[in-house]
Chains A and B, each alone.
Chain A
């Protein structure tokens, strides 16, 4: 295994552990958004209930909160768009390196400076 492969594998493992460990460590925790925690803090700090003076445009249009499932749809779209472009880019680059022959490979020492 090359050094890079080792780094990649180890990093991915670390990411998974970091991302999922709290789930198992803190069983029964709510895992709400820390935005909400922030809003609660606003009320705590100022000592009175805070009424947001503007509600999201979409909520005004549909007249209520965005349903959780639809929200997950939009989040999926966002992720999907991103992953699509990233995967396209890497797919293109990897294939170019694999099939493009040597002319693409301009060995240069300048990258170090980036």
Chain B
């Protein structure tokens, strides 16, 4: 699994870099300085409770369930990898995925929001991708709204007894899509169009983001499913522990 995985990864990295990076274009998050200050602060404020809950969750996890730290690190690493791969899409532009679905399924929304924040800070500081002023808005869309839907869909799918792998795929895919829908809403709120107001402006932004993101969302769903398969084969005891811990941690 690892060598195959590595091969696939390096292949997609090379492909992604060769075809996307030469145009210095940045993909997908709201860019630095593109949201009015009031919105920056507002979105940041909404994120705070989730992040605080996330830090508490992770602390508990580290103290009481040491075994699951490895999985937490892997979920974080998954976000790192997935959100760095810029992939060409059907609309002729490049975008990247979020990778937060795995964390949401394994650890719930709060812990995932912290993982997502780490990646966003990394990208905002070093890559000028996203930005510090838009950090709150981007954290909300990528690390809170998306995971929230992923988590919800996954729980619902479990109740409905969907096949597990399909459930993981569906949840991760929808979470990824929602991330970019939320981005559109955020932009629309900040920039209502002159004639149609917020709704028409939202449609405009959605028209830019949604078609680009759809194939990528499918890819994200598949990749999340594959990692989940790997974990189920090789990390049974960790998943088991996590699942018992969940009773106390994530209710």
Report the bound CA distance from A25 to B251 in whole Å.
47
B191 A75 Cβ-Cβ under 8 A: no
Tell me which residues across on chain B come within 8 A of A89, comparing CB atoms.
70-71, 73-74, 77
Given known pairs A35-B31, A59-B128, the reply for A65 and B212 (CB within 8 Å) is no
Given known pairs A81-B80, A86-B77, A106-B240, the reply for A32 and B25 (CB within 8 Å) is yes
Number of A-B contacts (CB under 8 A): 265
A114 at the interface (CB under 8 A from B): yes
Q: How far is the CB of A61 from chain B (nearest CB, A)?
A: 10
A29 at the interface (CB under 8 A from B): yes
Chain A 45-67 per-residue mask, 1 if CB under 8 angstroms from chain B, else 0: 11100101111111100000111
Other-chain contact of A19, B15, B17, B70, B234 (Cβ < 8 Å): B15
Tell me which residues across on chain A come within 8 A of B71, comparing CB atoms.
89
Residues of B89-130 at the interface with A, using a CB-CB cut-off of 8 Å, are: 89-95, 106, 119, 122-128
B219 A37 Cβ-Cβ under 8 A: no
Size bin of chain B's contact surface: 35 or more
Tell me which residues across on chain A come within 8 A of B82, comparing CB atoms.
82
B27 at the interface (CB under 8 A from A): yes
Given known pairs A19-B12, A90-B2, A112-B164, the reply for A52 and B34 (CB within 8 Å) is yes
A47 B194 Cβ-Cβ under 8 A: yes
Given known pairs A30-B92, A93-B234, A113-B243, the reply for A35 and B25 (CB within 8 Å) is yes
Chain B 125-153 per-residue mask, 1 if CB under 8 angstroms from chain A, else 0: 11110011100000000000000000000
A39 B90 Cβ-Cβ under 8 A: no
B19 A79 Cβ-Cβ under 8 A: no
Closest 7 CB pairs of A and B: A52-B33, A82-B80, A29-B92, A82-B81, A33-B25, A85-B77, A56-B128
Where the two chains meet, the residues of A that have a C-beta atom closer than 8 Å to any C-beta of B are: 4, 7-8, 11-12, 14-16, 18-20, 22-23, 25-26, 29-39, 41-42, 44-47, 50, 52-59, 65-68, 71-72, 74-79, 81-87, 89-94, 96-97, 104-106, 108, 110-114
Complex A-B: 24 CB contacts under 8 Å: A8-B226, A15-B223, A18-B219, A20-B15, A23-B88, A33-B95, A34-B208, A37-B212, A41-B204, A53-B36, A56-B32, A56-B132, A58-B125, A66-B127, A68-B21, A75-B21, A78-B127, A82-B78, A82-B79, A87-B5, A89-B74, A93-B231, A110-B244, A114-B106
